[in-house]
């Protein structure tokens, strides 16, 4: 399930109204003439800046507050106003101009006695851009920056817990989330704890936390998400509760110990570590957290995943491999692992927002075989019949596509269009856009901003090239 992006916690004008206390000019009476003049000038500039804030002209307001702070360095109110306005400005431009937003967050966090709000929003900004290590450091500063509003403590803990989860620091995530769950009865915190326990294969603890999330979330977003995951956990636990686990450098594998030889655990382990290097090199990305891998027999896979018969493997946050009698060669097993691990890396880069056709196109590309003459001939035939899929219709899951011949066409189109884009745009350029999906950008927006042509034009050119 895809979720709304982590929240940026605005509190702009309301927060400013609390903290923007103007120093009356009378407080400077006991000072020398020069000092009194500076203080009066600073108060005047502060007043001008407040009007600019009310008009949401944050850039000009920041300049005024900086001038005021320079005139009266000891005025804590002005310094606080400056910090909060920098925070507001950064939040306002975080989507339209992320580079400026980062510069502002950095400037604000470098201020002496910077308020926690800046660290909180800066951390969320970094997390939204999949920069989890930096996000964790900044959010930790927010949590330890001093007294904060009660709801903000919840938000910081939930975001920091999510960052730890993304990095594979499961114990640290639970420590941060426990107070958020227990003190605030937060459905989101309980849901995250449930996800972490589920990822670790701790089914009983996952059920306990997810049931709490359902209880406190009721019909809200996280209550519904917890209810869906709870059903999934209960189904999978019937198959996996007695599975053994084996930890590799970059993976944690679970499997039925009685079927160890049948499901080729040793060969899977070898190919997974090879895939970590090969796929990581292609995308220049090596996930920090261990990737969870579950190996099933064919019947176990069907029982746990309830997926269509044509599914040869699955990534849904965990790599799921149905092996033994399905696979007849080591080459086939290696291609399957390269394919599914590519999905894991792309998920990590995009936070799950990558269009499915591009995801599947990359995954098939990493398998290494490319389009066969038979596949190309079928694509040409479907183009001539005008039965080709519009690529926008392939941005969502393929699970609902039928019959199986249409599924094959969807995969072939995905590989063909991705190969065309790599040829025309370049592999590194196409890879570089992936993190932009995590910012909520559409494929159309990304094409226009990065490739100076429209999504539709590239699709038209691809079809014309293929039809030749």
Given a cut of 50, whether residue 465 has pLDDT beyond it is: yes
Length of the chain: 468
Give the CA count within 13 Å in the CB-facing half-sphere of 279: 31
Given a cut of 90, whether residue 229 has pLDDT beyond it is: yes
Given a cut of 90, whether residue 24 has pLDDT beyond it is: no
Given a cut of 90, whether residue 131 has pLDDT beyond it is: no
pLDDT band at 150 (very low <50, low <70, confident <90, very high): confident
CA dist list (Å): 166 to 106, 135, 148, 383, 402: 23, 11, 25, 42, 34
Alpha carbons 371 and 373: distance in angstroms, whole number? 7
pLDDT digits (tens, 9 = 90+) for 351-371: 899 999 999 999 999 998 889
Backbone angles phi, psi at 244, to 5 degrees: -90, 160
Max intra-chain CA distance, the chain: 91
What pTM was computed for the model? 0.77
pLDDT band at 212 (very low <50, low <70, confident <90, very high): very high
pLDDT at 262: 63
pLDDT at 308: 79
Tokens 């011949």, residue?
A: 405
The contacts of residue 428 (CB under 8 Å, 6+ apart) are none
pLDDT at 375: 93
pLDDT digits (tens, 9 = 90+) for 400-443: 888 899 999 999 999 999 999 999 999 999 999 999 998 888 99
Tokens 């090969």, residue?
A: 278
pLDDT at 340: 96
pLDDT at 32: 43
Sign of CA dihedral 182, 188, 190, 192: negative
Given a cut of 70, whether residue 327 has pLDDT beyond it is: no
What domains are defined for the chain? 12-239 (1.25.40.10), 244-276+287-331 (no CATH), 356-467 (no CATH)
What average pLDDT does the segment 320-343 reach?
A: 84
Given a cut of 80, whether residue 25 has pLDDT beyond it is: no
Q: What percent of the chain has pLDDT over 70?
A: 90
Residue 252 bridge partners (DSSP): 247, 292
User: Measured in Å, how far apart are the chain's first and last C-alpha atoms?
Assistant: 40
What average pLDDT does the segment 36-44 reach?
A: 83
pLDDT band at 7 (very low <50, low <70, confident <90, very high): very low
Residue 427's Cβ-count burial label (10 Å; 0-12, 13-18, 19+) is middle
pLDDT digits (tens, 9 = 90+) for 268-316: 899 999 999 999 999 999 998 899 999 988 888 888 887 777 888 899 9
The pLDDT mean for the chain works out to: 87
Given a cut of 70, whether residue 141 has pLDDT beyond it is: yes
Given a cut of 80, whether residue 57 has pLDDT beyond it is: yes
Asked which of 10-24, 59-73, 198-212 is least confident by mean pLDDT, the reply is: 10-24
Given a cut of 60, whether residue 12 has pLDDT beyond it is: no
pLDDT at 35: 67
pLDDT band at 8 (very low <50, low <70, confident <90, very high): very low
CB atoms within 10 A of CB 456: 13
pLDDT band at 180 (very low <50, low <70, confident <90, very high): very high
pLDDT at 21: 39
CA dist list (Å): 351 to 77, 143, 315, 444: 39, 24, 13, 18
Given a cut of 50, whether residue 9 has pLDDT beyond it is: no
Given a cut of 60, whether residue 346 has pLDDT beyond it is: yes
What average pLDDT does the segment 48-58 reach?
A: 94
Alpha carbons 343 and 99: distance in angstroms, whole number? 28
pLDDT at 335: 93
Q: Which two tokens stand for residue 158?
A: 């939930």
- 129 or 328: which leads in pLDDT: 129
Asked which of 133-142, 159-168, 206-215, 298-307 is least confident by mean pLDDT, the reply is: 298-307
pLDDT at 34: 55
Given a cut of 70, whether residue 388 has pLDDT beyond it is: yes
């Amino acid at each position: 399930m895809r979720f709304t992006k982590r929240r940026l916690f605005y509190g702009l004008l309301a927060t400013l109204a609390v903290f923007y206390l103007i120093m009356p000019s009378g407080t400077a009476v006991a000072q020398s003439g020069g000092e009194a003049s500076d203080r009066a000038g600073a108060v005047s500039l502060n007043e001008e800046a407040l009007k600019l804030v009310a008009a949401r002209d944050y850039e000009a307001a920041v300049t005024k507050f900086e001038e005021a702070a320079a005139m009266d360095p000891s005025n804590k109110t002005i310094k606080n106003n400056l910090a909060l306005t920098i925070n507001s400005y950064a939040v306002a431009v975080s989507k339209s101009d992320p580079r400026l937003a980062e510069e502002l967050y950095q400037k604000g966090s470098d201020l002496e006695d910077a308020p926690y709000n800046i660290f909180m929003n800066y951390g969320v900004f970094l997390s939204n851009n999949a920069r989890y290590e930096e996000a964790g450091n900044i959010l930790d500063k927010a949590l330890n920056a001093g007294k904060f509003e009660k709801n903000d403590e919840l938000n910081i803990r939930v975001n920091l817990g999510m960052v730890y989860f993304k990095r594979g620091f499961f114990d640290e995530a639970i420590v941060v989330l426990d107070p958020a769950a227990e003190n605030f009865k937060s459905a989101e915190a309980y849901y995250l704890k449930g996800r972490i326990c589920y990822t670790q294969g701790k089914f009983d603890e996952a059920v306990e936390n997810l049931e709490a999330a359902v209880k406190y979330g009721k019909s809200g977003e996280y209550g519904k998400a917890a209810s869906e995951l709870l059903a999934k956990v209960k189904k999978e636990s019937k198959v996996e509760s007695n599975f053994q686990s084996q930890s590799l450098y970059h993976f944690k594998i679970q499997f039925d110990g009685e079927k160890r030889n049948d499901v080729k655990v040793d060969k899977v382990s070898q190919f997974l570590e090879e895939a970590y290097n090969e796929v990581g090199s292609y995308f220049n990305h090596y996930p920090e957290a261990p990737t969870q891998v579950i190996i099933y027999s064919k019947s176990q896979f069907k029982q746990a995943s309830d997926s269509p018969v044509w599914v040869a493997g699955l990534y849904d946050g965990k790599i799921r491999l149905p092996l033994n009698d399905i696979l007849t060669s080591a080459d086939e097993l290696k291609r399957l692992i390269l394919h599914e691990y590519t999905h894991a890396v792309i998920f990590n880069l995009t936070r799950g927002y990558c269009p499915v056709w591009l995801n599947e196109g990359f995954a098939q590309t990493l398998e290494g075989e490319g389009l066969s003459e038979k596949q190309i001939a079928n694509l040409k035939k479907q183009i001539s019949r005008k039965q080709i899929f519009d690529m926008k219709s392939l941005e969502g899951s393929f699970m609902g596509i039928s019959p199986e011949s249409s599924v094959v066409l969807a995969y072939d189109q995905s590989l063909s269009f991705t190969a065309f884009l790599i040829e025309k745009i370049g592999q590194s350029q196409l890879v570089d856009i992936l993190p932009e999906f995590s910012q909520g950008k559409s494929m159309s927006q990304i094409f226009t901003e990065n490739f100076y042509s429209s999504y539709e034009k590239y699709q038209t050119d691809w079809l014309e090239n293929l039809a030749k």
